[in-house]
Structure 1
Amino acid sequence: MKKKFVAIAAAATLVMAVLAGCGSTDTSNVNAATAASEAPGSEAAPEAASSEAVSSEAPSSEAAADLSGSISMAGSTSMEKFANALAESFMAKYPGVTVTAEFTGSGAGVEAVTAGSVDIGNSSRNLTDDEKAAGVAENIVAIDGIAVVTDPANTAAGLTKEQLSGIYTGEIKNWKDAGGEDQAIVVVGREAGSGTRGAFEELLDIEDKCAYANELDSTGAVMAKVAATPGAIGYVSLDVIDDTVKTLAVDDVEPTVENIKGGSYLLSRPFVMATKGEISEQTEAVQEMFSYLASDEGKALVESVGLITVD
């Protein structure tokens, strides 16, 4: 299992999540009163930063009333639910801090934090060696499962890893060859550069081999397309699953929190809140956000949006 969240519920001690998509941009902002759409990025670190666990030892402000400033985040659309929840909860706890979040894709988020235009780049994949070499720290705050979904009427109960790979590479074109009825398969996925797509293809070892009928630029678009298209199959973050689609087991393992924690479910990836330099080099507000995520309250938030805390 190989690859690669801003809502509040986040991680613990070990914190774990591609390039901006070539499709259109899905953007929204979370503001506290009149929140600005951009906040200054943190200082650049001269050397590469390696993966870092969010530590409960991070500096904490004396009192909520004393903490002020702004935190800007940008990146993964798969992390939208988490990011929005985190922003709302953190601003409620620290009224003097404004948190903004944009959802432009994992790659775009990492590029933005590298350039210093945002404080945090959200990535639903691990950082590349080149990104780390540019001084970006990989702060893993949660683990997410990637669920394979079909339209609700699909009769297939599950797929093997080989069948799933065959469907996405175009070798299997009809559901009758994958445990379903005689129906053409409509292959739906994310745009090139998506963190979810990158993680999905890497975990299946099918990078650069996929044959998509539809390449969509957001998690919500994939959900809507699959739900409305007979014979469709897609992949989305586990935390967005609802009754508009049907989830499939992979190698007889259901995509559940328990199975992902236990390591038996194939498709899981980290949610990364990347910073330019280590957490200790960031503004007081940013440091406090990571401290918050490492707390019991933060871990509860992570779990409340369907994600898995990192122990």
Structure 2
Amino acid sequence: MKHTFIAATLTIAALSGSALAQENISAVGSSSVSPLMEVFGETYQQIHPEVFIEVQGPGSSAGVRAAKDKSADLGMASRELASSEKETDLHSEIIARDGIAVVVNPSNSVDSLTAQQIHDIYAGDIKNWKEVGGEDKPIVAVTRDTASGTRGAFEEIMQLTKKINGQKVSAISQHAQVSNGNGHSKTMAAQNPFAISYISLGSVDSSVVPVTVDGTPASVENVKNGSYKVARPFQVLYKGTPNTRTQQFLDWMLSAEAQAIVADQGYISIN
């Protein structure tokens, strides 16, 4: 009887412990992917309350590093990987696509720019709005920090890179103001009538106006049909073989249920 009682007690304790235990999945990287990942995490936790998704958004470069050194279960990147970042054992899944909207203040009369004009504004060659049909006011170009995947994608698409001593570096003017995130970039354009910025298409709201690029509006439909060229992938990265709980979450993010969330959040689903 005594042995039976002890066994029963240990079984109850084990069951109680497993019910209370919560498995963490850490996702680190792009501040553009982070809002979508947070919604993914909240939804997934409703289905699997035993799992907690922890999201941090220091930037795409940090996400690549976190995946490589396994300091996080998943890295997040909002750009293509550089050739120097790729490794045989580093794997990626595209969980969504996103347009990059070039935005201005609602009071700005300029609502259309060519890709060349945007390039010249950020390179510092066009400095006044009157050069592109606007007021005689200096342009305040807002960019992201160098660790940002949004900036990396924007530079590649707008050909804002150059080589110095064999190294590829940014060609964005040093006079451009640097923001530390998607939200801050939007706020800077929303509060300054002469600012121009670039943000995730899914982050656009009434506080800013996205300009057409080469005559094409920034929209989900135009990203999907390929007519709006300023677009990039949202990727999750992992090294080697993920553990079971992480693999299950990865599979779920590619499901129809998760991809419906992508569309609801204003991004572009992969199916």
Q: TM-score normalised by the shorter chain: which range applies?
A: 0.7 to 0.9
Higher relative contact order (CA 8 A, sep 6+): 1
Q: Which moved more, 1:131-140 or 1:83-92?
A: 131-140
Q: What is the match of residue 266 of structure 2? A: 306
Q: What is the match of residue 33 of structure 2? A: 79
Match of 1:225 among 184, 188, 192: 188
Q: What is the match of residue 294 of structure 1? A: 254
Q: What is the match of residue 144 of structure 1? A: 98
* Deviations 1:97-130 (CA, angstroms, capped at 9, x unpaired): 1110011110011111111110000000112233
Larger radius of gyration: 2
In the alignment of these two chains, the number of paired residues is: 243
Tell me the C-alpha RMSD between the 2 structures: 1.5
Distance 2:246 2:132 in 1: 48
* Deviations 1:11-62 (CA, angstroms, capped at 9, x unpaired): xxxxxxxxxxxxxxxxxxxxxxxxxxxxxxxxxxxxxxxxxxxxxxxxxxxx
**After the TM superposition, which residues 1-311 of structure 1 pair with which residues of structure 2 at under 5 Å, given as runs?**
69-133=23-87, 135-207=89-161, 208-211=170-173, 212-277=175-240, 281-311=241-271
| SS across alignment from 1:138 | strand
Distance 1:93 1:175 in 2: 51
| SS across alignment from 1:130 | coil
- How far the C-alpha of 1:179 sits from its partner, in A, is 2.1
Distance 2:70 2:176 in 1: 37
Which amino acid counterpart does residue 199 of structure 2 have in structure 1? V
Distance 1:168 1:252 in 2: 19
Q: Structure 2: any 5+ residue segments left out of the alignment?
A: 1-18, 162-169
Do 2:28 and 2:75's aligned partners in 1 also have CA atoms closer than 8 Å?
A: yes
* Deviations 1:162-183 (CA, angstroms, capped at 9, x unpaired): 1111111111111111121222
Distance 2:37 2:253 in 1: 12
Distance 1:284 1:110 in 2: 21
Distance 1:119 1:108 in 2: 13
Distance 1:260 1:291 in 2: 24
Q: Which moved more, 1:67-76 or 1:83-92?
A: 67-76
Query: Which has the larger helix fraction?
Result: 2
Do 1:106 and 1:122's aligned partners in 2 also have CA atoms closer than 8 Å?
A: yes
Which amino acid counterpart does residue 89 of structure 1 have in structure 2? T
| SS across alignment from 1:129 | coil
Q: Structure 1: any 5+ residue segments left out of the alignment?
A: 1-64
Do 2:102 and 2:211's aligned partners in 1 also have CA atoms closer than 8 Å?
A: yes
Do 1:68 and 1:285's aligned partners in 2 also have CA atoms closer than 8 Å?
A: no
Distance 1:134 1:295 in 2: 26
- How far the C-alpha of 1:193 sits from its partner, in A, is 1.9
* Deviations 1:129-156 (CA, angstroms, capped at 9, x unpaired): 3322262112111110000001111001
TM-score by length of 1: 0.75
Which amino acid counterpart does residue 153 of structure 2 have in structure 1? A
* Deviations 1:226-248 (CA, angstroms, capped at 9, x unpaired): 11112100000000111111110
Do 2:122 and 2:176's aligned partners in 1 also have CA atoms closer than 8 Å?
A: no
Task: Give aligned-pair identity as a percent.
Answer: 38
Runs ≥4 residues deviating over 6 A: none
Do 1:143 and 1:269's aligned partners in 2 also have CA atoms closer than 8 Å?
A: yes
- How far the C-alpha of 1:289 sits from its partner, in A, is 1.1
Query: Which has the larger strand fraction?
Result: 2
